[in-house]
């Protein structure tokens, strides 16, 4: 099945800190690193490394030609990437000593998608699987057009915003991938089993994957609930672990329709991602999972 990530590209500026800065506090960082990220780009790379190839629909500034070179080197098909005058998105990321992070995203070019662009993409990209996150504009439009073109839709509601519940055609989503924060915001529940039940009640024909970091992950639909413990590893940086999980899950699930195996593979890939620094740079190649 053809796979498309429709989403953001960011330049990540990472501040390595002892703890995530608190309200009214000023802190110094130990060092600063830069990298390539954005949930759309990370998920395209995870899909490509898991499945062998994937497309990315995104917007990149005309001054950032090296990002295209980078994507080609990762075997990401960039035929839908729009080169534009706006600044490429960027993210300010704090990573603490335990490898946990907090992220602020400045959308830049990620907020400039037009209905014409969406139409063009889905005139060509049909009957595949489309992965969406919430770092770009026009997501409701993208969901509708992706669905009309016969694509399976996987939605990762990150970063969460209230507009998702108010304005997005969530009944078109085939698979939700949420962490405990997003699952909690979508349902008002806190415990994993209750989140999964509430998701099924609200979206009875959708499947939900709930990721809980070190506490493992779940898959649930109307017929089964499956739990997968996390693989133990040294945590260096959790950035893009969720993106890695999602790419490996979808690649495996669309190949074998086996949610148990897809969860196992995705958990293994995410464990490797958290053991390395960076976003796109931490996503493992398929051979590393052997």
Asked if 136 interacts with ligand RIB (CB under 6 A), we say no
Q: Applying CB under 6 A, which of residues 14, 17, 39, 88 lies at the interface with ligand RIB?
A: 39
Asked if 105 interacts with ligand RIB (CB under 6 A), we say yes
Asked if 145 interacts with ligand RIB (CB under 6 A), we say no
Find tokens 């495996």 and name the residue. Answer: 252
Q: Are 144 and 166 in contact (CB under 8 A)?
A: no
Backbone φ, ψ for residue 162 (5° rounding): -60, -30
Supply the minimum distance, in Å, between the C-beta of residue 177 and ligand RIB.
12
Supply the minimum distance, in Å, between the C-beta of residue 45 and ligand RIB.
10
Shorter beta-carbon distance to ligand RIB: residue 14 or 175: 14
Asked if 14 interacts with ligand RIB (CB under 6 A), we say no
CA-to-CA separations, 13 to 21, 110, 111, 115, 173, in angstroms, rounded: 15, 17, 19, 30, 32
Among 101, 110, 100, 98, residue whose Cα is nearest residue 39: 110
Shorter beta-carbon distance to ligand RIB: residue 10 or 151: 10
Among 50, 270, 243, residue whose Cα is nearest residue 132: 243
Asked if 60 interacts with ligand RIB (CB under 6 A), we say no
Asked if 56 interacts with ligand RIB (CB under 6 A), we say no
Asked if 134 interacts with ligand RIB (CB under 6 A), we say no
Q: Provide the edge-to-edge strand list for the sheet that holds 10-16.
A: 31-37, 10-16, 89-95, 101-106
Contacts of 107 (CB under 8 A, 6+ apart): 8, 89, 135, 136, 137
Asked if 237 interacts with ligand RIB (CB under 6 A), we say no
Chain residues in the site for ligand RIB (CB under 6 A): 8, 10, 12, 37-39, 42, 91, 103, 105, 135, 239-240, 242-243, 279
């Amino acid at each position: 099945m053809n796979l498309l990530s429709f989403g953001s590209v960011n330049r990540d500026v990472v501040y390595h800190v002892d703890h995530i800065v608190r309200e009214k506090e000023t802190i110094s960082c130990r060092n600063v690193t830069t990298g390539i990220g954005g949930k759309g780009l990370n998920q395209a790379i995870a899909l490509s490394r898991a499945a062998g190839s994937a497309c990315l629909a995104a917007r990149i500034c005309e001054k950032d030609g090296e990002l295209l070179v980078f994507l080609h080197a990762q075997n990401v098909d960039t035929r839908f990437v729009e080169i534009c005058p706006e600044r490429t998105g960027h993210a300010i990321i704090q990573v603490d000593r335990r490898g946990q992070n907090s992220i602020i995203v400045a959308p830049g070019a990620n907020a400039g998608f037009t209905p014409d662009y969406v139409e063009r993409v889905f005139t060509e990209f049909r009957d595949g699987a489309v992965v969406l996150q919430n770092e770009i504009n026009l997501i409701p439009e993208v969901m509708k057009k992706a669905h009309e073109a016969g694509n399976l839709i996987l939605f990762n509601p990150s970063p969460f915003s209230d507009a998702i519940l108010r304005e997005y055609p969530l009944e078109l989503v085939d698979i939700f991938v949420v962490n405990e924060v997003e699952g909690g915001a979508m349902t008002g529940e806190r415990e994993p089993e209750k989140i999964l039940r509430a998701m099924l009640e609200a979206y009875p024909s959708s499947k939900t994957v709930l990721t809980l970091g070190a506490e493992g992950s779940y898959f649930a639909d109307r017929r089964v609930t499956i739990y997968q413990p996390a693989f133990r590893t040294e945590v260096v940086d959790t950035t893009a672990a969720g993106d890695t999980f999602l790419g490996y899950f979808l690649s495996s699930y669309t190949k074998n329709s086996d949610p148990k195996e897809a969860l196992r593979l995705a958990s293994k890939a995410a464990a490797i991602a958290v053991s390395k620094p960076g976003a796109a740079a931490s996503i493992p190649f398929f051979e590393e999972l052997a």
